[in-house]
DNA sequence: TTTTTAAATGATAACTATTATCTTTGCATA
DNA sequence: TATGCAAAGATAATAGTTATCATTTAAAAA
């Protein structure tokens, strides 16, 4: 919700600007973990004067302030994820589609496993699954 | 081993060239899933005339022929992984270090779990864990 | 409400990683 | 030795992103 997001900006001491709201809104509306370019294209419809540099700067600010996460991919194009709760990703083997995947039971199984089987010389902070495959159409 | 790699090139109908051998050798020697730039820098020592374009082309050819994998990261710089057997990655939360992680028991637990709990409208081909945390020094 | 000021935006240029193009080179085979 | 073709090298081009800096704006202070 936008009100929540405004509060989050304020908590972080960030100014609430129309550009920032439009960018966050674009990411939510677009879905599929958009690229900077996707976001620019979408925003240009309603907000034709926005600068590309601003979009990059805002995305960077959001990531630094944990309002957005970068998505790991095998491409040199950055993608962004607005859902901050712990979740995994389904990657389409053939297309650029990336979907969110949540499964608390599985998370528990994995974290229990690592409780019993520590990795030598490594403290785990976070575990994410990247599940590659094909969506059924 | 280099002999194995030569055979792999030949199996794929790719010519065995000094550049290709040097690039593969660099990736193995460098470890830590190097970038194209890391590879160029390393090779320049013994092989000062190699062209950057060639390195990119060779990396691309290797990835296309499944002799190398791209590593998923949150950066717009590509990194490459020479180990083709199924494994996971440990990502350092603070540095660019990425280590390989293998655990057959865990793989079994996860694949058993997904046998019993299919994801709706999605056929899984591969599951990788990205484990973020800190290495103990 | 007006003023102040620090932060954010927009326009532009710069930069970096990567890819494309095109000529030349190096081998294998005829 | 000549031919064909994949691969390498040099260079230019492109794409995505970051930096710079003057201008504008949100929000705190007066």
List pLDDT tens digits, range B45-99.
888 889 999 999 999 999 999 999 999 999 999 999 999 999 999 999 999 999 9
Tell me what pLDDT residue B91 has: 97
Q: What's the mean per-residue pLDDT of chain B? A: 95
Residue B15 clears pLDDT 90, i.e. is over it: yes
For A:20-39, CB contacts with B below 8 A are: none
Tell me what pLDDT residue A2 has: 77
Tell me what pLDDT residue B1 has: 58
Q: How far apart are the first and last CA of chain B?
A: 30
The reported pTM is 0.91
Which two tokens mark A36?
Answer: 């900077």
Tell me what pLDDT residue B3 has: 75
Tell me what pLDDT residue B137 has: 79
Residue B40 clears pLDDT 80, i.e. is over it: yes
Region B97-102 average pLDDT:
96
| Complete DSSP assignment for A72-125 | PBSSSS-EEE---SS-EEEEESSSS-EEEE--HHHHHHHHHHHHHSPPTTEEEE
Q: Which nucleotides of C are covered by protein (CB under 7 A)?
A: 7-13, 17-21, 27
Q: Which residues of chain A have pLDDT under 50?
A: none
Tell me what pLDDT residue A1 has: 59
Interface probe with B: pick from A133, A135, A136, A137, most Cβ of B within 10 Å: A133
Residues close to nucleic acid strand C (C-beta < 7 A): A 14-15, 17, 19-20, 49-54, 57-58, 61, 76; B 17-18, 35-37, 52-53, 56, 60, 76-78
Cα separation, B91 vs A125, whole angstroms? 10
Output b/e per residue, B68-88; b: 16+ Cβ within 10 A: bbbbbbeeeebbbbbeeeebb
Q: Is residue B31 very low, low, confident or very high in pLDDT (cuts 50, 70, 90)?
A: very high
């Amino acid at each position: 919700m936008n009100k929540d997001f405004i509060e989050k900006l304020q908590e972080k001491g960030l100014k609430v600007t129309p550009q920032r709201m439009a960018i966050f809104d674009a990411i939510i509306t677009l879905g599929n973990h958009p690229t900077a370019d996707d976001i620019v294209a979408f925003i240009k419809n309603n907000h034709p004067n926005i600068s590309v540099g601003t979009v990059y700067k805002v995305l960077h600010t959001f990531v630094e302030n944990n309002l957005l996460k970068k998505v790991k991919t095998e491409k040199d194009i950055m993608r962004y994820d607005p859902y901050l709760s712990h979740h995994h990703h389904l990657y389409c083997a053939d297309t650029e589609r990336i979907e969110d995947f949540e499964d608390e039971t599985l998370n528990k199984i994995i974290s229990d496993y690592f409780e019993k089987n520590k990795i030598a010389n490594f403290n785990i902070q976070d575990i994410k699954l990247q599940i590659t495959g094909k969506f059924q159409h």
